[in-house]
Amino acid sequence: MKLRHFYQQIRQVKIKATNINNNMCDPAATADQRNVEIKARIPGGTAEFERRLGIARQLSGAAGELIVQRDVFFNSPKGGRLKLRYLEAPARSQLVYYDRPDVAGPKLSKYNKIEVDEPAVLEKMLRQSNGALGVLAKRRQLFIYEQTRIHMDEVQDLGHFMEFEVCLRPEQTPEQGQAIAEQLSQTFGIAPADLMMGSYFDALTKAGDS
């Protein structure tokens, strides 16, 4: 009986650890998730991108996780943005819906996402039902610093960018998340002129139209 109790305690510890990790912008949560985001261009080419990579590594104490992504965007009749994110195995692809204002600087984003085992089938269905807007590909290096996801992005046909996602806890206000995002902006030396209003896909679409 003592041995069984011991293994039960170990299982409970593992479950708690998993729940703690999932709380960082938990993709499995049923309620709308919230974060405060900042997205910015990185001028100066590869050299400046590498310099800011160094800051991210120093802050997080990690080398960063490389994530290769291909996002297919679809029409979203009721507003917001809907995308299917292809990820390389063993990661599972994701269907993501999010809604955030197109303003420069920190902005509140509400989103939901689910993992997808057959993304090609889902893409076909969404193309037939909603219609596709286009595709965006990028290489992302992910760093975790306290409650913030730091994304260092190389976007195909667009350039170098970075993004903060301050994952709000249930009791936190958007203003608290904004303060964290603004402090990180100062740490990385983001200039107001480099802040983006819309998404990478918006910028890619505008570049294609020009």
User: How much is the average pLDDT of 79-88?
Assistant: 96
pLDDT-based confidence at 22, cuts 50/70/90?
A: very low
Res. 3: pLDDT tops 90: no
- Does position 134 have pLDDT exceeding 80, yes or no? yes
Percent of the chain's residues with pLDDT above 70: 85
17 pLDDT higher than 60: no
Ordered domains of the chain (ranges, CATH):
33-209 (2.40.320.10)
Residue 99, judged by CB atoms within 10 A of its CB (0-12, 13-18, 19+), counts as: middle
What would the DSSP string read from start to end of 162-183?
A: EEEEEE--TT--HHHHHHHHHH
Q: Looking at 31-35, 42-46, 111-115, 121-125, which range is the least confident one?
A: 31-35
Position 105 scores a pLDDT of: 83
Instruction: Provide the residue count of the chain.
Output: 210
Q: What is the pTM of this model?
A: 0.82
Nearest to residue 26, comparing CAs of 142, 153, 165, 164? 165
The string of pLDDT tens digits covering residues 161-193 is 999 999 999 999 999 999 999 999 999 999 999
DSSP string, the chain: -HHHHHHHHHHHHHHHHHHHHHTSS-TT-SSPEEEEEEEEE--SHHHHHHHHHHHHHHHHTS--EEEEEEEEEE--TTSSEEEEEEE-TTSPEEEEEEE----SS-EEEEEEEEEES-HHHHHHHHHHHT-EEEEEEEEEEEEEETTEEEEEEEETTTEEEEEEEEE--TT--HHHHHHHHHHHHHHHT--GGGB-SS-HHHHHHHHHH-
Residue 83, strand partner residues = 73, 96
